[in-house]
Amino acid sequence: MRAESRDETWPPSRTGRLGKPGGPPEEYRPGTQRRADPGVAGNARLTAANAAVLLALLVAEGVTILRVRQLLSPHVFIGVVLIPPVLLKVASTTWRFARYYTGAPAYRRKGPPPVLLRMLGPVVVILTLMLLFSGVGLLLVSRPWLPLLLKVHKASFVLWFGAMTIHVLGHLGEVFRLAPRDWLRRTRREVTGAGTRQWLIATSLVAGVLLGFLLLSHVGHWLSAAPGAKEAVQVFFM
C-alpha cells in the first residue's frame, strides 16, 4: 500500500483480524497502515487548504502595512476579506478540538498537535479576532471610541504577530503537504468531500470580498470624522 501522509493515516489498532496462522496479527506487521477516517482526513485537508489561502492574504496585508498611509483602502479591504476564511478555520480547528476531547475514536487515534501549538492555538484565535474586529470597529464606531480602539488594534497586532509567527512555522510543513491534495486530480479522490471543501473555501472568499466592498465605503467617512486619522494610522504602524 502506498504510504500516505501521517495526517491521513494512523497506526492500526490492537484489535482486528488475525494474520497468517502462527504469525503476528496483520496490524503488527511492518509497514502495515490503515487509511485515516474520511472525516479526520477531510478536516485536515480543509484546515490546510484554508490556511494556505489565509497565508496568501496575510502576505498581501503585510505589504499594505509597509505603506499604509497610501494603501489604507487596500489594507482595510484585505483585512475585511480575511474575516470569513478566519471564521472557517476557527470552525474546522474547533471541530477537531471538540471531537478529540469528546473521545471520538478516529480523532483520538490521530492524536493532538504538539503541546506548544495546542496551547498557542486559543491564544492565536483570540488575538486574531481582536485584531480583525477592532479594525472593523475603527470604521464603524463614533469618534470618541477611536483612540481606545486604535490602542486595542495596536496591542493585538503586536501580540498576534509573535504568536502567529510560531503558529505558522509549526504548521507550515503540514500545510504544504495537505493544502494541494483536494485540488490535484491524482489525490482529490482519495478522501471524499473534496468538492464540498472547495466550495466552503470559495464561499468564504466570496463572502469576504462582498463584505470588503460593503465596508470600504466607510474608509472615507472615518477619515473625515477623525481629523489626522491618516497620520495616526501611519504612526500606529511605525
Confidence band of 7 (pLDDT split at 50, 70, 90):
low
User: Which DSSP letter does residue 28 get?
Assistant: G
For the chain, report the end-to-end CA distance as a whole number of angstroms.
Answer: 55
131 backbone dihedrals φ, ψ, rounded to 5°:
-65, -50
Least confident of 19-33, 177-191, 212-226: 19-33
Amino acid residing at 191? V
Beta bridge partners of 9: 35
C-alpha cell at 132: 480583525
Q: How far apart are the C-alpha atoms of 169 and 178, rounded to whole Å?
A: 15
Q: What is the mean pLDDT of the chain?
A: 82
Long-range Cβ contact pairs of 113-120 (< 8 A, separation 24 or more)? 113/170, 114/170, 116/166, 116/170, 117/166, 117/167, 117/170, 117/171, 120/163, 120/166, 120/167, 120/170
Q: What angle do CA 19, 24, 26 make, to 5 degrees?
A: 45
Say what the pLDDT of residue 219 is: 76
C-alpha cell at 213: 466592498
The predicted-structure confidence for 44-103, as pLDDT tens digits, reads as follows: 999 999 999 999 999 999 999 888 778 888 999 999 999 999 999 999 999 999 999 999
Rounded to two decimals, what is the model's pTM? 0.79
- Which residues fall within 8 angstroms of residue 160, CB to CB, at 6 or more apart? 124, 127, 128, 130, 131
The predicted-structure confidence for 92-151, as pLDDT tens digits, reads as follows: 999 999 999 999 999 999 988 889 999 999 999 999 999 999 999 888 887 788 888 889
Say what the pLDDT of residue 120 is: 94
236 in Cβ contact with 150 (< 8 Å): yes
Say what the pLDDT of residue 28 is: 34
Q: At what angle do helices 194-225 and 115-140 cross, to 10 degrees?
A: 40
87 in Cβ contact with 204 (< 8 Å): yes
The predicted-structure confidence for 170-212, as pLDDT tens digits, reads as follows: 999 999 999 999 999 999 999 999 999 999 999 999 999 999 9
C-alpha cell at 18: 488475525
Per-domain residue ranges of the chain? 1-35, 37-236
Half-sphere CA count of 14, side-chain side, radius 13 A: 0
* DSSP three-state, residue 10: strand
C-alpha cell at 122: 486559543
